[in-house]
Structure 1
Amino acid sequence: MSTARANEPALLHYQVNAEPVFKELTPAFCWFHPRVAPLPGYGKDGRPAVVMTIQKHLAASDHYSGLYFLRTDDLGKTWTRPIEIPELAWQPGENNETIAVCDVTPGWHSPSGKLLAIGIKLRYSPKGDQLLDKPRSHECAYATYDPKSQTWTAWKMLAMPQTDGKFFLVSPGCVQWLVNADGTLLIPTYFRGPTGDDYVTTVLHCSFDGQELKYLKHGDELATAGGRGFVEPSLALVQGTYFLTLRNDAAAYITTSSDGLHFQPVKKWTFDDGQELGSYNTQAHWLAHSDGLFLTYTRRGANNDHIARNRAPIFVAQVDPKRLQVIRKTERSLLPERGVMLGNFGATAITPDESWVTDAEYILTGKPHPKGADGTTWLGRVRWSKPNQLAK
């Protein structure tokens, strides 16, 4: 039996279960970027409804369709099929370009009673290649869903300063963002100027009135040389401290803040035995609980070297919030490795008793993988032993 380390945080027990939301297997596309958000009070018996945003990954690399959504009113027992959102479909651009939005994270904005979806605007050539030659080729795109009228708005773009300079490209993609008590938002994002390969991460402080998102200011600019810099940051707030996890091609990093804008020096993610976590070139996300902080991630060292970038399975584990380390003995495999990549996923609290992690299998062959992958979009349930007071 393992013994507790000195000053180890109280461990919060939890159970995990993975179940399919739906399956689709075709050589034309695979479903990608499934992420969920609760609609408090809009489900059965006063419980939350849950909306999942998702889109199709097409033949070219990082070539995405318009946005779709699914909905469940019974906490995932039954779901709609993916529903195309006409307001959020591709739009025509100049020179036969296509304007799209990808890497979307939805979230509930309680002050306005709206679901807010935040992602990256993209420009595609007629062949499906991304175009980055002009300012604002990547922008912060946002849209809202009104659960009362069950209607979506079209994409809008967040106006940013210095778009010919440091904010030439602005990419709040695959990020976990937060709503402050005053209704303003903290949106992690990565950005770069017109030249260079490395991205810098910051947190945008924005106002939102239910219709328009406005830039107020941004925080520290976190940078590292090489490996494309820092990208796909995700932010959590637990017991008065903000935690930011960062992706780099070679490793994953962690830092903290007292205000969500100004951060301590970054450090590599490690286990509590000092060994590197082994997560790299893949996003990681938080499960925030009032009694503990948890990280969801992929990593090396799990008999998964046959998976590109070791992007399956998806793990969950508790974090030591003082040492900023993953507590190895708490690690569980949440979403299974079945021969193909995962890793473009979402994580959020749904009820006080349960948080969800969602991902989809990257498979474009049109037939199942010998290890079992069959185009499943997964729901991973994390059931807490204590109610999560952060879940509304």
Structure 2
Amino acid sequence: MNRRLFVFFATLFLLLTATALGNDPSGGSPGKTGAAKPAITPDISEEPTRLACDEGGGALSYDELPCMRSPKIEDDIAGDAHRQVRLVATQSDAANESPNASISKEAPLIASISKETLWRNRDGQSQTWFHPRACMMPGASGDPIALMTLQQIGGSDYFGQVHWSMSTDLGKTWSDPEPIAALGRDPIPGREDDLRAAVCDVVPQYDPVTNSLLAMGHVVFYKGDYFARKEQLSRYPIYVTRDQHGTWSERKILQWDDPRGSNIYSNGCGQRVVLPDGDVLMSFTFGPGETNRMVSGVRATFDGELLKVKEVGPALQNNQGRGLLEPSVAEFGDKFWITLRAEDNRGYVSVSDDGLNYEEKRAWAWDDGTPIDMSTTQQHWLTHSDGLFLVYTRKDESNENVIRWRSPLWIAQVDTDNRCLIKASEQVVLPLVGDGIDAPNHVALMGNFHVTHASPEESWVTVGEWMPRDGYRGDVLLARIRWSKPNRTPLW
């Protein structure tokens, strides 16, 4: 039934009722027997189709429909009917004009989510792979293939050499991981001890302008078999490139000569955007000390071999703990979006027209305004041509005792008008396995993950599980998110 017919029949019912009550044979007062007036009359900015009443008050007409009798003593009752019709019309109009009306009316973009295991080590009999991050690139025939970087984990912030693996069948099978020679542990000039410069938090991305791949992480310092927590030198981005013939380059440093980054400047774990001219839009987390790190948008040039900082935008700040960490950038609509890890039980979001000048950050919240509890863990974007999504961890009654609530992984659609998450769209990407209340030490953490736009039909979330209090065991998982309509976002 269309809206006009619905309103007509609702009006007809109310007016028939009003007429019957107004002609009560017992002689009761029409003013007392009429329908009760609504407590709230909505503020209507646009008039709905009017109910016309002739000057004599004896007839009501709706559009071109026949009239029915309504004596003057029934004016209040008729007015009530009129207001009820206006209320129905207003509610219908409001629903149609809602910025997220299409989300509720159309089928959800996510058709299904399935879980696959790529490498197993929950039994502790093999290696525990970590930081699995994939990107799509054209193969020799031009068909998409996936390249993943990953490295072993043996302790808190203690990682092995960065490796790579390839899939030519959309992630169903993967080649055995092979080391990237330049991303191992290098001696430090001027040091005679065994402090070494390693690399972690690597994110690969294909560059279609130069037909090359850029894999960037940041430096980390180890001594022997442990993370040299008290001997970390200044930290900075490390990258390598891979040419069209499959040759990896030597290790390179993304230089930034700014005193604000004298202690650290980094893009570890961060999503980036390749612009049409080949420039790379990303972000730095940086600071002159251990606390109160800031985040800025960064634009860099890339020629397939060298990455150079071109512009750095104004800083976003949050003076809690270490500050703002692990920023990720995505492009959606006509905006660049940035999501930020923080240390005040929140995550933050901001937008920019150019990827450099970001608006004041907002804490992630639900669409009803309730803040979302996030414990110092990264979030990442998943983009579909018809919707923007966030993948994240948060506090839940199932994971209250899990370290930093880093299981399960969730996904929700972003209300891009109000810059919040739509609660009704939330679902689990990768579930918590185990008991997050009474046996949290046996729950594998999933706080270091990545998102890949794999094809028009599906996207992936990849993560390396680990149990820091149970032998650093865990599997490498892939969540396959299938779309209900094709994702027209370019693969590269």
Kept after mapping to 1: 8 A contact 2:221/2:231: no
Per-residue deviation, residues 359-381 of structure 1 (Å, max 9, x unmatched): 0111367779xxxxx62101111
Partner Cα distance (1:72, 1:388) in 2? 21
Distance verdict in 2 for CA 1:227–1:328, change over 3 Å: same
State the structure with more CA Rg: 2
Please point out which of 305, 313, 324 is paired with 1:230: 324
- Return 5+ residue gaps in structure 1 as ranges: 369-373
1:261 maps to 2:353: no
Please point out which of 90, 107, 121 is paired with 2:185: 90
Partner Cα distance (1:114, 1:243) in 2? 25
Q: How does 1:48-67 map to 2 (within 5 A)?
A: 48-59=144-155, 61-67=156-162
Kept after mapping to 2: 8 A contact 1:158/1:214: yes
Per-residue deviation, residues 239-288 of structure 1 (Å, max 9, x unmatched): 11111101111210111111111011111101112222222210000011
Match of 1:102 in 2: 200
Please point out which of 303, 311, 324 is paired with 1:209: 303
Deviation of 1:292 (Å): 0.6
Deviation of 1:356 (Å): 0.9
Partner Cα distance (1:308, 1:131) in 2? 20
The TM-score with structure 2 as length reference comes to: 0.73
Question: Counterpart of 1:152 in 2: which secondary structure?
Answer: coil
Question: Counterpart of 2:227 in 1: which secondary structure?
Answer: coil
1:348 maps to 2:452: yes
Question: Counterpart of 1:309 in 2: which secondary structure?
Answer: helix
Please point out which of 361, 374, 381 is paired with 2:480: 381
Question: Counterpart of 1:259 in 2: which secondary structure?
Answer: coil
Deviation of 1:36 (Å): 0.6
Partner Cα distance (2:393, 2:471) in 1? 25
Distance verdict in 2 for CA 1:132–1:172, change over 3 Å: farther
Per-residue deviation, residues 82-128 of structure 1 (Å, max 9, x unmatched): 22222322112223211111111111111111111111112223352
1:76 maps to 2:190: no
Deviation of 1:134 (Å): 7.5
Distance verdict in 2 for CA 1:20–1:133, change over 3 Å: closer
Kept after mapping to 2: 8 A contact 1:201/1:231: yes
Q: How does 1:316-335 map to 2 (within 5 A)?
A: 316-335=411-430
Distance verdict in 2 for CA 1:305–1:29, change over 3 Å: farther
Give me the CA root mean square deviation.
2.2
Per-residue deviation, residues 179-198 of structure 1 (Å, max 9, x unmatched): 111100112120110x3412
Question: Counterpart of 1:181 in 2: which secondary structure?
Answer: coil
Kept after mapping to 2: 8 A contact 1:245/1:253: yes
Deviation of 1:166 (Å): 3.7
Distance verdict in 2 for CA 1:73–1:67, change over 3 Å: same
Kept after mapping to 1: 8 A contact 2:297/2:358: no
Kept after mapping to 2: 8 A contact 1:244/1:256: yes
Q: Percent identity?
A: 33
Partner Cα distance (2:336, 2:445) in 1? 30
Distance verdict in 2 for CA 1:336–1:157, change over 3 Å: same
Higher helix share: 2
Amino acid at match of 2:446: L
Amino acid at match of 2:200: C
Kept after mapping to 1: 8 A contact 2:116/2:479: yes
Please point out which of 113, 131, 156 is paired with 1:33: 131
Distance verdict in 2 for CA 1:84–1:24, change over 3 Å: farther
Deviation of 1:47 (Å): 3.0
Distance verdict in 2 for CA 1:220–1:9, change over 3 Å: farther
Per-residue deviation, residues 53-106 of structure 1 (Å, max 9, x unmatched): 1111123x2111110111110001111122222232211222321111111111
Partner Cα distance (1:217, 1:375) in 2? 40
1:144 maps to 2:241: yes
Amino acid at match of 1:297: Y
Distance verdict in 2 for CA 1:169–1:79, change over 3 Å: same
- After the TM superposition, which of the residue ranges 16-25 and 228-237 deviates more from structure 2? 16-25
Distance verdict in 2 for CA 1:157–1:166, change over 3 Å: closer
Kept after mapping to 2: 8 A contact 1:104/1:173: yes
Partner Cα distance (1:328, 1:99) in 2? 43
Deviation of 1:9 (Å): 5.6
The TM-score with structure 1 as length reference comes to: 0.90
Distance verdict in 2 for CA 1:314–1:376, change over 3 Å: same
Partner Cα distance (2:97, 2:371) in 1? 18
Kept after mapping to 2: 8 A contact 1:145/1:151: yes
Amino acid at match of 1:23: R
Partner Cα distance (2:469, 2:342) in 1? 29
Kept after mapping to 1: 8 A contact 2:167/2:174: yes
Kept after mapping to 2: 8 A contact 1:21/1:379: yes
Higher strand share: 1
Deviation of 1:129 (Å): 2.8
Partner Cα distance (2:399, 2:97) in 1? 29
- After the TM superposition, which of the residue ranges 227-236 and 82-91 deviates more from structure 2? 82-91
Deviation of 1:41 (Å): 4.1
